[in-house]
Amino acid sequence: MKTLSLLYFILFLSTTWTTYKDVEGRFEILIPMTPTIKTYKVSSEYGMIESKALIMFSESSKNQYLFGYADYPLKESDNLDDFFYSRIMGSVDNVHGKLLNEEIIKYKNYPGRKIRVLWKNGELVNNAIFYLINKRLFYLQVTTSTSNDFNSDIYKFLNSFKHIE
């Protein structure tokens, strides 16, 4: 009985989610563990863009979580469909994947896109959401095996985003 109780306790600890809030980054999300935080530069049609990312891998769910954001020097004349298309195709090309679907979404009144990408010979799938809020692109992604796709932790993470005004 003690062994079973200990197993449930360990399982509970491995799936405990906490709120990660970054006032400077202007966001709040739920995360399953302490993230690795990275800053890197991304080449784009707007020049080099600095991006900040939180990366986590959950051994219990076998999901890799990524949250990132970057500021883009967009103009009012820029076409948002083209902007999102470029980010989405960059994400797909980055893993040599196949775009399975794309959905136009919104966060409050801000534009967004939701995608699914199949890659690594059909072994892995990325579920991702992009939101553009005041020239800042927020990006949430969960990578998992195709056999583990649609697990509830994916949506817990993707749907947890909150923008801080």
CATH of the domain at 17: 3.40.1000.10
pLDDT at site 61:
83
33-87 tens-digit pLDDT: 999 999 999 888 999 999 999 999 998 888 999 999 999 999 999 999 999 999 9
12-40 tens-digit pLDDT: 445 689 999 999 999 999 999 999 999 99
**How many domains are contained in the chain?**
1
- Taking the C-alpha atoms of residue 61 and residue 108, their distance in angstroms, rounded to an integer, is 30
Residue 18 lies in domain: 2-163
The residues, any chain, with a CB within 8 Å of residue 123's CB and separated by 6 or more, are 145, 146
80-127 tens-digit pLDDT: 999 999 999 999 999 999 999 999 999 999 999 999 999 999 999 999
CA atoms within 13 A on the CB side of 111: 12
pLDDT at site 17:
95
pLDDT at site 8:
46
How many residues does the structure list for the chain?
165
- Taking the C-alpha atoms of residue 122 and residue 134, their distance in angstroms, rounded to an integer, is 36
pLDDT band at 3 (very low <50, low <70, confident <90, very high): low
Task: Give bridge partners of residue 53 from the DSSP assignment.
Answer: 38, 68
132-144 tens-digit pLDDT: 999 999 999 999 9
